[in-house]
């Protein structure tokens, strides 16, 4: 079986450079088949989150394989994440994820997003008033981080990190943290290469995970956050099409390979067993230095996911993109829109 390369983490563990993403994998039968296909062909890294509502499916299949002696628990790497309505209840959600995944520890646990919301009473969902999620400004992310640090020191979380933080937020957390973050996970692809954030992560000795390395083509089949319908299609880029022909590979394989060669961990999502296997078939070829340099010539730098469900949150990580793309200017202290814009509602709970 082909062994996936990995990069060392400052926690002492190693992060595989290729894993199975499971965002939007809500059909339990399809996800079950996809996870089995992944494990059978050699994946040993699975990424999930509490808000994906699929941890229990992953946990059941992994436990079955471990019980059958196909591999040991230490042979597989599992990442999950704290929901945006769980910042004030982090210990509770860590325990829920451990139970769902049927494991004593999680290999990597992330704060899913730096914008906490109040929780709806009696429900695992953000509280909303008139269709607008209610921010929870009582829990700065450093306070949530302290809970992760406690569970890391207890061994329940083998590494801890963040997702969807901007550069300033990441540096701020790093400066304040006792246990420094081990990983950051963000949208990254050839049309949004995250060069500055990646450089900062390397400076801080953090590993880097790229979600949506293919530009999340499946997003168009689901209700969209504003900006999610932007015309971004890495799979159709002329350079990618040319390299796919050169190497006799799919365009998806070219994009995954490019991500891995940058030193990032790629977690492409699919519930199609054939595509799951195809996405894994990237370890038997290598892009040349000249090929990689061609990607650096691409001038487009546009994120897909704006998280407009949190457009009025004062801690939104990408305020400049909200202004440029949606014309929304948010006061950093209050969350009120300014410059004549008015608060708008968002009934979309979709998030990455």
Task: State the residue range of the domain holding 90.
Answer: 6-326
* Cβ neighbours of residue 241 closer than 8 Å, sequence gap 6 or more: 251
Q: What is the pTM of this model?
A: 0.93
Residue 344 forms part of a structural domain: no
**Which of 97, 108, 107 has its CA nearest to residue 50?**
97
Overall number of domains in the chain: 1
Q: Report the mean per-residue pLDDT for the chain.
A: 92
pLDDT tens for 222-265 read: 554 545 567 789 999 999 999 999 999 999 999 999 999 999 99
Residue 28 forms part of a structural domain: yes
pLDDT tens for 321-350 read: 998 888 877 666 566 666 544 333 332 333
pLDDT tens for 154-177 read: 999 999 999 999 999 999 999 999
Residue 229 forms part of a structural domain: yes
244, HSE (Cβ side, Cα atoms, 13 Å)? 15
Residue 203 forms part of a structural domain: yes
Q: Residue 264 maps to which CATH number?
A: 3.20.20.100
The answer to whether 248 and 191 have CB atoms below 8 angstroms apart is: no
Q: Which of 52, 65, 85, 211 is catalytic?
A: 52
Residue 144 forms part of a structural domain: yes
The answer to whether 61 and 39 have CB atoms below 8 angstroms apart is: yes
Residue 340 forms part of a structural domain: no
260, HSE (Cβ side, Cα atoms, 13 Å)? 26
SS (H, E, C) 129-170: ECCEECECCCCCHHHHHHHHHHHHHCCCECCEEEECCCHHHH
Which pLDDT score, from 0 to 100, does residue 339 have? 55
Is 112 marked as binding a ligand? yes
Confirm whether 85 is a catalytic residue: no
Residue 341 forms part of a structural domain: no
pLDDT surpassing 90 at residue 31: yes
Which pLDDT score, from 0 to 100, does residue 328 have? 76
Segment 128-146 shows an average pLDDT of: 96
Residue 331 forms part of a structural domain: no
Give just the sign of the alpha carbon dihedral 47, 50, 51, 56: positive
**Which of 313, 12, 15 has its CA nearest to residue 164?**
313
pLDDT tens for 290-312 read: 999 999 999 999 999 989 889 88
pLDDT surpassing 50 at residue 47: yes
Segment 85-109 shows an average pLDDT of: 98
Q: Categorise residue 171: left if φ over 0, alpha if ψ from -120 to 50, beta otherwise.
A: alpha
């Amino acid at each position: 079986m082909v062994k996936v390369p990995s990069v060392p983490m400052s926690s002492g563990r190693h992060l595989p450079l290729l894993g199975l993403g499971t965002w939007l994998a809500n059909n339990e039968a399809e996800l079950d088949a996809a996870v089995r296909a992944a494990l059978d062909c050699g994946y040993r890294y699975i990424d999930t989150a509490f808000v994906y509502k699929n941890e229990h499916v992953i946990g059941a299949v992994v436990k079955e394989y471990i019980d059958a002696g196909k591999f040991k628990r230490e042979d597989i790497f599992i990442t999950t994440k704290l929901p945006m309505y769980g910042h004030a209840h982090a210990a509770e959600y860590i325990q829920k994820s451990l139970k769902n995944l049927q494991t004593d520890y999680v290999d990597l646990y992330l704060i899913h997003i730096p914008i906490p919301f109040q929780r709806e009473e009696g429900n695992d969902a953000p509280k909303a008033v008139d269709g607008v999620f209610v921010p929870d400004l009582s829990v700065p992310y450093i306070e949530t981080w302290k809970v992760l640090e406690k569970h890391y020191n207890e061994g329940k979380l083998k590494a801890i990190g963040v997702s969807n933080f901007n550069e300033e937020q990441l540096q701020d957390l790093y400066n304040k943290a006792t246990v420094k973050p081990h990983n950051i996970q963000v949208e990254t692809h050839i049309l949004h290469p995250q060069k500055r954030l990646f450089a900062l992560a390397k400076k801080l000795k953090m590993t880097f995970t790229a979600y949506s390395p293919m530009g999340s083509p499946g997003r168009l089949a689901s209700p969209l956050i504003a900006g999610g319908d932007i015309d971004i299609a890495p799979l159709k880029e002329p350079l990618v099409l040319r390299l796919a022909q050169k190497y006799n590979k799919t365009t998806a394989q070219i994009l995954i390979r490019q991500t891995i060669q940058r030193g990032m961990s790629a977690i492409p999502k699919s519930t199609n067993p054939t595509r799951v296997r195809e996405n894994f078939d990237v370890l038997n070829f290598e892009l040349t230095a000249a090929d990689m340099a061609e990607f650096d010539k691409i001038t487009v730098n546009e994120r897909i996911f704006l998280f407009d469900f949190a457009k009025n949150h004062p801690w939104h990580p990408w305020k400049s993109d909200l202004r440029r793309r949606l014309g929304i200017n948010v006061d950093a202290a209050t969350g009120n829109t300014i410059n004549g814009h008015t608060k708008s509602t968002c009934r979309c709970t979709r998030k990455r």
